[in-house]
Structure 1
Amino acid sequence: MTHSIAILGASGYTGAELIRLISGHSSMRIEALGANSKAGQTIAQAFPHLRHLDLPPLVTVDEIDFSRIDLCFCALPHKTSQEVIAALPRDLKIVDLSADFRLRDPAEYEKWYGNPHAALEQQAEAVYGLTEFYREEIRAARLVAGTGCNAATGQYVLRPLISAGVIDLDEIILDLKCAVSGAGRSLKENLLHAELSEGYHAYSVGGAHRHLGEFDQEFSALAGQPVRVQFTPHLIPANRGILATTYVKGAAGAIHDTLVAAYADEPFIEVLPMGEAPSTRHIRGSNFCHIGVVADRIEGRAIVIAALDNLTKGSSGQALQNANLMLDIEETEGLMMAPLFP
């Protein structure tokens, strides 16, 4: 069976990544591409690297006939996404890539994103889209809220360790580097080549980053008590990739054993041999996440490092993984491509 797919926000980076992934999918066909700002253009005009694909033109959302669509990916900006999704047919399956449905508490959403939630009915039914930990809920869901790419990386490291009780919950430091595509395709002065290249910098320092809302929500629920991590993201002059270095208090051997056991049957999470550290160059363009554990020179402390591609496993690949579950397709379909190297 072939499922008809729509992508809203198809002219952004995550939209292009969805098109790339779905073009190799055996059970999905792209029926509609919504991109209000580039409506009327062909995919070759928006993304020359996709010109070989036979795809519909970019149109406004209002022009799409959703009665012909089985599942819609929504890759629109925060706030815009909730307004659009609230107006979509109630029987339409949706995977949202924005932040609009990630936080279960509307007050928390307003705290982190600065405006009241405008689609409370839809927010109440949304399932958090971290596939490996919400698989069965996602399979039965109508609306899935994709995680933040930074939030996904940190959770792959910390969720099993918090659940197993092998680390001190008051001693967690997450130092994360993210490539520039994580900031989206819109023109921004600070992302110009001359402003960004040949250096990198911390941002949202001291607890201002919005993905902390996801960390607080998920880690506290796992632990049954408030968990607050120290988190500092850094913008690096690279196109793709996230490298998260986490400093924890706990026995390195137990931490490694816990991660190996937690991900033994997961197709996309690779725990490296003890003492090896991952690199973004080894997961680029793929849906894989590599995790490494190294014992610190200070006894009883460990360093856990995770690498993933922010556009694939951190966003569009995760979205496709979830859509496969929602449509009763093999979870790995369209996602087993090897990383790009060099």
Structure 2
Amino acid sequence: MLAWMLLYFVLAAAGTWLARRYALKRDLLDRPDERRSHAVTTPRGGGIAIVAALLVACVALTIRLPDQALLMAAFAAGLVVVAGAGWFDDHRPTSPWVRLGAHAVAATLFAGAILHVFADPWLAGAAAIAILVLVNVWNFMDGINGLAATQTMLVAFALGAFIGGPWTGVALALAAACLGFLPFNFPRAAIFLGDVGSGALGYAVGAITIMASATQSMPWPLLFLPLSTFLVDAGLTLLMRMRRGERWWTAHVQHSYQVWVRSGAGHATVTFVYMAWTLLAILLMLGLRQSSPLFMLCGVVAWYMSSAFAWWLLRRAAQQRVLRNH
């Protein structure tokens, strides 16, 4: 397994280097403006390297475990659809509704395979919802150096350690590929994930989470814990924008991590704090694994309530610093 992880690390690192050369040649650049949190013009599209490494992992695992061929094929097809939509958007911005349609196609492909293999319509429905939600959450939260890639790496590694079977390989391949990408994106960014990367990471995290539930290797309420960092920030910010009557589907800089950066915090500081938040959630997931269902559910609810309160405190303090700075 370590040898395979090293391969995916190298593939992602080499692919990111090539993607940067391509982006510079094709003028695929994110320039600073009022909707972005960076101050330097930076190439985008580096996430294509993570996608390529994951596709190699799918082929290798299918050869080794042909009984997983249908699920692996569906996962790979959905990944290509999501990444392809993002790749086109990185080259020429497209309608968010067109991208959402592509995400729905990818979600349907994987959900259909889940239904065929497990004959469980509830699990298939959960797969479709998880993929649609997490693809867009990862798109929303990919706004500062290292944030989306580090969160994906932590979640994938945590799930990979407990899923068992072939999907451990997929999860650890994702974690290794993110690690190969990170030297180009954190603490300083030589290239961004781009929509090709952020959407693909959300898709992969959603699919792996569903497989963790399908194999019953982890009680399903606990699977919400590693995702809490992004779900809380994205979810509460979305609700806030909807309450204000804003066009919530458009790009903005209103997430708490973005407000914190505007208040003067460095990208690395914010990313490390969000990593610590997720690591604590993973530790709680492990601690609650053997507890009773009621205690487990109470623990998850308490964690989300605490996280929401921490989100509010962070946002309030950061907004006050922004006002003082101006």
TM (norm. structure 2) is 0.26
Q: Which one has the bigger helix percentage?
A: 2
More strand by share: 1
Answer 1 or 2: higher relative contact order, Cα 8 Å, separation at least 6: 2
